[in-house]
């Protein structure tokens, strides 16, 4: 469960903070085994509830990306920093890019899963049309 708190700054701008009411140690648990990382659970759920199929597809795509990079580790060594730099530009949120780097390395915190899911959800909302003609 995520709660939002608004605090007014000196300039009159509202700054929003988000707090999670999960067990304190769970978000900071490190997952290093693929079975722990890629299991579709609550930590992969973005801010808007998704269907189990949607979460599963997202997690499978991330697993495929990691697997593809691991198989071609020597060839991909020069490409990974470029990919991460591009994602920093596109996403505009460096912590999500760091979380993706951790994921590609095969070790990730639980809270980074939520961070990735939320960031990619928001990015896709910006890129994709809100409605498709003929698809009501």
pLDDT tens column, 21-66: 445 567 778 888 887 888 877 888 888 888 888 888 898 999 998 8
pLDDT at residue 120 above 70?
A: yes
Taking the C-alpha atoms of residue 28 and residue 12, their distance in angstroms, rounded to an integer, is 34
Structural domain includes residue 16: no
Structural domain includes residue 134: no
pLDDT at residue 17 above 50?
A: no
DSSP state of 118: H
In the chain, what's the furthest Cα-to-Cα distance?
Answer: 52
Q: What was the pLDDT predicted at 25?
A: 62
Taking the C-alpha atoms of residue 130 and residue 136, their distance in angstroms, rounded to an integer, is 11
Q: Strand runs (DSSP E) across 1-136, as ranges? A: 2-8, 14-20, 30-31, 108-109
Domain count, the chain: 1
Structural domain includes residue 83: yes
| The CA-based dihedral angle spanning residues 53, 36, 83, 128, taken in that order and rounded to the nearest 10 degrees | 20
Q: What was the pLDDT predicted at 69?
A: 84
Rounded to two decimals, the pTM is: 0.70
Structural domain includes residue 63: yes
Q: What was the pLDDT predicted at 19?
A: 47
> Where do we find the tokens 């189990």?
52
């Amino acid at each position: 469960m995520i709660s939002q708190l608004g605090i007014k700054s000196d300039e009159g701008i509202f700054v929003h903070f988000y707090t999670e009411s999960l067990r304190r140690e769970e978000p900071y648990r490190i997952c290093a085994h693929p079975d722990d990382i890629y299991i579709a659970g609550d930590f992969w759920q973005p801010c808007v509830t998704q269907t189990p199929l949607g979460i599963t597809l997202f997690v499978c795509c991330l697993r495929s990306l990691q697997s593809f990079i691991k198989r071609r580790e020597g060839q991909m060594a020069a490409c990974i920093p470029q990919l991460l730099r591009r994602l920093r530009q596109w996403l505009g949120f460096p912590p999500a890019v760091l979380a993706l780097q951790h994921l590609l390395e095969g070790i990730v915190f639980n809270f980074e899963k939520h961070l990735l899911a939320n960031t990619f959800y928001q990015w896709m909302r910006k890129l994709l049309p809100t409605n498709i003609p003929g698809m009501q």
